[in-house]
Structure 1
Amino acid sequence: MRVSQLKNSLFTGIAVVSLQLFCVSALHAQSLGANLALTGPGAGADGSGFSNTKLVRDGDTGTYTQASGTSNQRVSVKWSSAVNFNTVVLRESGNNVSSWQLVDNDTGAQLASGTTIGSARTVNVGNASTKKINLIVNGSSPLRIAEIEVYSGGSNVSSSSSSSSTAGSSSSAAAGNASVNLSGSAAGGSANLSWSVSGNINAIEVYQDTDSNPAGRVRIASLGAGERNYTATGLNSGTPYWFWVKYRNSSNNTWSDSNAISVTPTGSGGGNSSSSSSTGGGGTPGNLLSCQQANTVQGFASLGGGTTGGAGGNSITVSNGTQLVAALATKKNNTSPLRIYVNGTITEGNSGGAKQFDIKDMENVSILGVGNNGVFDGIGLNIVRANNVIVRNVKIRYNRIGQKDGISIDGTSRNVWIDHNEIHNSLDVHKDYYDELVSGKGNIDNITISYNYLHSSWKTSLWGSSDSNNFDRRVTFHHNYFENVNSRLPLFRFGQAHVYNNYYKNVLDTGINSRMGARIRIDNNYFENVKNPIVSFYSSQIGYWHTAGNVFQSVTWQEYPSDGIIAGPNVGSTVNYNPPYNYSLMSANDARAHVLVNAGVGKVSNCL
């Protein structure tokens, strides 16, 4: 070929490629609209582990922000007010990302997740609205993110990358609709479930109820897409149970139900005991728990693989806040278990400028008080997007900085155990002077609050920050001592809660407040000198309760029709709800005696 022909050929090829790129770019812009990462109100960026975070929203794919680590590295796009969007385009410089997730920072909800990113991954996240979106990545060094583009236009968008997304849709998802066929068999106190799958799915959840109506059913497991078996335990023999598998179709990320089946457990085993004492968690009335009993996690925190915190790992002892900040910093990008022992009074003044202690984007950590010496005075703990966390045997009081709670749990935190602590404020102040003692919001799950002494507070325990914070959170409250408090014991929106064997004394306004469709089982609690022990107040939708075995001593029931409904004086159940785990009950009278001996700090010092 002559040189002139070669030049003409090359020119023609370049022109064709340029035209193709122009057409693709024009189609992209036409279908998606303006990049909100650049044009949204007060658009900005930040991150944890990344430098030069503004480079993810500079519109230049040739620049990038690089992470200092390789695990749970976060870079974010944010705005001064919430933006509405449905599509996010991720661009990596290189191919070192091995897994990623997009998280709504306002609610903690996971919008999407997947494996690789590459030069371009386009994800349809449905209809989203937030002031900040987080990209959290894992992989090998160097992790370099070139762009996070955010759009509100078109939904027919495909990805140029090959990995699938567990929330947003991408072109790698297989075409066609999936289906799941569920079957089961009975055993002693349990039901053995199995299912076959046709097509491609990317998530599985198992649901249980005592009738065939799916309304009010309870999620008992969240499983990987490859699972095909599950055993539901703790069931009452002779009682019919109904089960469903809910699955997410890979092609369009919509949820569907399998067929419903009924299984009636036979033989021995299962059931929720109502004995006057319990093994592993209840102990004997009037006596201290043994270490074996005290160290056995009960309730929702026992699910999902259990909650072990820093057990089996290294330990560090701290006596001030600066040392605690440094100890927690060692957990960044480090999954090795760690126990942090607190031996001293921690204040804002000895914490090097910290306004709270962030147990954030980490896992496998315990905060443990030494004797009666572990005290947080005027500063609290903030647990965010953290898994397998334990806080035991510490005092927390008078916090008005940071999140302003004694302990706050947020984001997508899983398996958190708050046990044998004393947390309090004061009633000798305005009701808004302090905030909660222990609270949770966002898409948290498998939480247990046990053997705590929670007292002297206007606002005690809020779960779900608003009527729109609609996550199926699951929390157990057992053997806690609530004394001299005003309300929120707990205030619980959406989701599922189990409240058993607690002692309530001197409650000024309201006790357990079930709101926004929440389902709460309330077993064998002792209410003494309490106004309106169980209500559904102050929300656009009521919540529900299943009550049994409670004692109401010197209580007052007072209706406020404009606020909602009260459960008494003739207390009955408004829903049938059984938590998905075995538990043993003391009588309410025994629980009162047991809680007075065991709740609070200094009771398990030799067991930690």
Structure 2
Amino acid sequence: MRLRQLTVACSLLGVLCVPAHAEGRDIGRDTLPANDGWAAEGTGTTGGAAADDAHVFTVTDRAGLVRALDGGSATPKIIKIAGTIDANTDDDGDRLDCADYATGGYALKNYLAAYDPRTWGSAKPSGPQEEARQASAARQAERIVLPVGSNTTLVGLGDSAVLKGASLQVKNAENVIIRNLDVRDAYDCFPVWQPNTGGLGDWKTAYDNIWLTGATHVWVDHVTLSDKGHPDAKEPTYLARNYLRHDGLLDITGGSDLVTVSWSRFAGHDKAMLIGNGDTATGDRGKLRVTLHHNAFESVVQRAPRVRFGQVHVYNNRYDITGDDYRYSLGVSTESRMYAENNAFHAPGHVEVADLVKSWNGSALHQSGTLFNGFPVDLLAIHNAYNSGSERDLTADVGWTPTLHGRIDSTQEADRAVTRGAGAGRIP
């Protein structure tokens, strides 16, 4: 009877549970369940499940993680992270900070003076300080950019595995699983100033916590992504703009395809997830097929997600909106075909339903089962009514209907389940 109750409870959570006698189950050998989103298409996603014993690693520091990743090789491998790994460390494990990476005479004070738009103008930065910034940035990148190759499973052990300061990059690779890992604070020591002829300009940062580019068959599950340690909200203002240190939490670009992101937590960040990186990237047509389900978006300002071109299934997610800087959650951009169902939004009084969707050159959004502060709403109708004239009206016909998915919970059930089960350390 108790086993049956456990099975029912886990079914509601949408996760795999095992009885007590099976506590030794190796989640590093888990593969994506059948029909669990776009990553289950075709051959499915198995990561490093086929790895032999010689390619199963437990790592506790950056040096061990780098060796296990093997330069992004395609050899089947399972890498288990134990405890906290800080990417900003040297080969001896000693902590590095931004001053340790600076070279060529780079100094922020001098950089700001050199490219102040009041004297420099709107030209792209060039000259000694920009060259020094680039050289300094390259030194940091050597430490924190970690390539994840094909046929790899990267998994956290227990409920407290943390990868800090790193940018995991799945570049032109296939069949990758990233699970049960807290990936935080991909902190850019050397943002670049980008002038704007029509405005103030802005700061641009280099690193996403996880970046998929040209990647196929990727499963990201029970991962927590945040800026924890260095929130951008606490950074100073330089050249009249917030000195941003972080880019996306999880960006899916460059023709990536067949991706499932499930039971993960995106927290305390500006730009959470970009799917498709340019309006002119027409090579993305027919790709960028992504499923997002049972994820929590907490205190995220925008891009949850913003989509170009892709067929993106967004279902059973929970959105907790806070802060006066909130912009939107669902971004409908060029040729995107987002199918959103049974998502729950929780927002303070100053946020309206019309704020949840933003459109740039988009034409369609399917939505159903949406709850806003517990009440059913029609995102599409409200978007069109409140943004008429300022944004293009959206149609409900996105040209496809998702078939690759497990049970789609009621919005209320999913809302509760995500609260309990999303994020690292919550794989039963």
TM-score of the superposed pair, with normalisation by structure 2: 0.67
| Counterparts of 1:312 and 1:431, CA distance in 2 | 44
Residue aligned with 1:546, SS: strand
| Counterparts of 1:515 and 1:283, CA distance in 2 | 35
Evaluate the alpha carbon distance shift between residue 581 and residue 431 of structure 1 in structure 2; reply closer, same or farther with a 3 A threshold: farther
| Counterparts of 1:480 and 1:533, CA distance in 2 | 20
Q: Who is 1:381 aligned against? A: 168
Shift in Å, 1:499: 0.2
| Counterparts of 1:387 and 1:521, CA distance in 2 | 25
Shift in Å, 1:601: 1.1
Q: What whole-Å deviation, never above 9, does each CA across 1:269-313 have from its counterpart, x for those lacking one?
A: xxxxxxxxxx9998215x964259996431001112000101131
**In the alignment, structure 1 residue 290 sits paired with structure 2 residue 17:** yes
**In the alignment, structure 1 residue 542 sits paired with structure 2 residue 270:** no
**In the alignment, structure 1 residue 512 sits paired with structure 2 residue 330:** yes
Q: Which runs of structure 2 are paired with 1:528-539 in the superposition (5 Å)?
A: 528-529=346-347, 531=352, 532=354, 534-537=356-359, 539=360
Evaluate the alpha carbon distance shift between residue 288 and residue 581 of structure 1 in structure 2; reply closer, same or farther with a 3 A threshold: closer
What amino acid maps onto 2:396 in structure 1?
Answer: S
**In the alignment, structure 1 residue 490 sits paired with structure 2 residue 305:** yes
Q: Who is 1:481 aligned against? A: 296
| Counterparts of 1:447 and 1:318, CA distance in 2 | 26
Q: Who is 1:527 aligned against? A: 345
- Please list every run of at least 4 consecutive aligned residues from structure 1 whose deviation after the TM superposition is greater than 3 angstroms: 279-282, 291-297, 429-433, 530-534, 554-563
Q: Who is 1:315 aligned against? A: 56
Q: Which runs of structure 2 are paired with 1:287-436 in the superposition (5 Å)?
A: 289-290=16-17, 296-297=32-33, 298-313=36-51, 314-329=55-70, 332=73, 334-335=74-75, 337-350=76-89, 352=91, 353-359=142-148, 362-401=149-188, 403-411=206-214, 413-425=215-227, 426=231, 428-429=233-234, 430=242, 432-436=244-248
**Does the CA contact (< 8 Å) of 1:379 and 1:396 recur in 2?**
yes
Q: What whole-Å deviation, never above 9, does each CA across 1:338-369 have from its counterpart, x for those lacking one?
A: 1100113222332545221111xx31101100
Structure 1 residues 578-587 or 470-479, which shifts more? 578-587
Higher radius of gyration, 1 or 2:
1
Residue aligned with 1:373, SS: coil
**Does the CA contact (< 8 Å) of 1:546 and 1:576 recur in 2?**
no
Evaluate the alpha carbon distance shift between residue 543 and residue 525 of structure 1 in structure 2; reply closer, same or farther with a 3 A threshold: same
**Does the CA contact (< 8 Å) of 1:526 and 1:551 recur in 2?**
yes
**Does the CA contact (< 8 Å) of 1:319 and 1:346 recur in 2?**
yes
Q: Who is 1:122 aligned against? A: none
Q: What whole-Å deviation, never above 9, does each CA across 1:169-196 have from its counterpart, x for those lacking one?
A: xxxxxxxxxxxxxxxxxxxxxxxxxxxx
What amino acid maps onto 1:326 in structure 2?
Answer: R
Q: Who is 2:408 aligned against? A: 585
**Does the CA contact (< 8 Å) of 2:248 and 2:272 recur in 1?**
yes
Shift in Å, 1:435: 1.0
Q: Which runs of structure 2 are paired with 1:60-139 in the superposition (5 Å)?
A: none
Q: Which runs of structure 2 are paired with 1:49-60 in the superposition (5 Å)?
A: none
**Does the CA contact (< 8 Å) of 1:451 and 1:598 recur in 2?**
yes
Q: Who is 1:69 aligned against? A: none
Q: Who is 2:391 aligned against? A: 564
| Counterparts of 2:45 and 2:414, CA distance in 1 | 24
Evaluate the alpha carbon distance shift between residue 281 and residue 491 of structure 1 in structure 2; reply closer, same or farther with a 3 A threshold: farther
**Does the CA contact (< 8 Å) of 1:342 and 1:373 recur in 2?**
no
Shift in Å, 1:543: 3.8
Count of residues in Structure 1 that have an aligned counterpart in Structure 2: 315
| Counterparts of 2:371 and 2:391, CA distance in 1 | 23
Percentage identity across aligned positions?
Answer: 29
Shift in Å, 1:535: 2.6
**Does the CA contact (< 8 Å) of 1:493 and 1:543 recur in 2?**
no
Residue aligned with 1:284, SS: helix
Shift in Å, 1:527: 1.2
Residue aligned with 2:424, SS: coil
What amino acid maps onto 2:212 in structure 1?
Answer: I
More helix by share: 2
| Counterparts of 1:282 and 1:521, CA distance in 2 | 26
Q: Which runs of structure 2 are paired with 1:12-51 in the superposition (5 Å)?
A: none
| Counterparts of 2:220 and 2:321, CA distance in 1 | 23
Gaps of 5+ in 1: 1-278
Residue aligned with 1:509, SS: coil
Residue aligned with 2:414, SS: helix
Shift in Å, 1:432: 3.5
**Does the CA contact (< 8 Å) of 1:524 and 1:551 recur in 2?**
yes
**Does the CA contact (< 8 Å) of 1:396 and 1:424 recur in 2?**
yes
Shift in Å, 1:465: 1.3
Evaluate the alpha carbon distance shift between residue 500 and residue 533 of structure 1 in structure 2; reply closer, same or farther with a 3 A threshold: farther
Evaluate the alpha carbon distance shift between residue 345 and residue 584 of structure 1 in structure 2; reply closer, same or farther with a 3 A threshold: same
Q: Who is 1:599 aligned against? A: 422
RMSD: 3.0
Q: What whole-Å deviation, never above 9, does each CA across 1:546-605 have from its counterpart, x for those lacking one?
A: 1122212279978456762577xxxx724353024253210000000010111011112x
**In the alignment, structure 1 residue 573 sits paired with structure 2 residue 396:** yes
Structure 1 residues 513-522 or 581-590, which shifts more? 581-590
What amino acid maps onto 1:306 in structure 2?
Answer: G
**Does the CA contact (< 8 Å) of 1:450 and 1:479 recur in 2?**
yes
Shift in Å, 1:372: 2.7
| Counterparts of 1:443 and 1:281, CA distance in 2 | 38
| Counterparts of 1:573 and 1:431, CA distance in 2 | 39
What amino acid maps onto 1:598 in structure 2?
Answer: G
**Does the CA contact (< 8 Å) of 1:527 and 1:533 recur in 2?**
no
Q: What whole-Å deviation, never above 9, does each CA across 1:447-468 have from its counterpart, x for those lacking one?
A: 0111001110011001111211
Shift in Å, 1:431: 7.7
Evaluate the alpha carbon distance shift between residue 330 and residue 467 of structure 1 in structure 2; reply closer, same or farther with a 3 A threshold: closer
